[in-house]
Amino acid sequence: MRNRTNLGFTLAETSVTLGITGILGLCGLSTLDLGGGLALSGFQVELTGSLDQAFHLARARGSNVSVVMNSPGAQDIIPLQLPRGVKWGSLPGVPLPPGMDPTVKASNTGLAHARITVTPRRTATASAWFLNDGRDVLCMRLSGQGRVQLLRWRAARMKWTRC
């Protein structure tokens, strides 16, 4: 009889090792915040898309269209829902964006107007919305002429940047 030499690992040993490595890797990843404001970034894209859609619908229909936060949709309403982890308002210690007058209501509650209405002529209800994820702050400024400006307070850089 020939004595068999051990040339490697068995399938069972490899499977158990990979399983343990996977579990330890998931435990380590769950403690990290790799998203870096992923919920806030996702909402930023959704907000921009909703405003664009509202401007196009208003022009196509010839009537006003509204973008409303946390409201059921209707014919002339585009609803927006806050994702989990995103809250209204700015954070304490975060200054207002450059060139923005102090708006007590928007800074404290997150919004100056809960409903944004756009017209077929591309005018809009001037508004400022502040949203945060506990670290970064998103500021959406909408002028009466329908110009949208998105600014983001990056806590890591301690400054406002254009989105």
- Confidence at 118, pLDDT banded by 50, 70, 90: very high
Confirm or reject CATH 1.10.3470 for domain 38-162, answering yes or no.
Answer: no
| Whether 55 contacts 48, CB under 8 Å | no
Q: Is 21 helix (H, G, I), strand (E, B) or coil?
A: helix
Q: What is the pLDDT of residue 12?
A: 85
Which tokens belong to 91? 């954070």
Tracing tokens 């983001």 back to the chain, one arrives at: 152
Q: What is the pLDDT of residue 3?
A: 65
C-alpha–C-alpha distance, residues 34 and 141, integer Å: 28
- What are the tens digits of pLDDT across the range 20-68? 888 888 777 655 554 557 888 888 999 999 999 999 999 999 999 988 8
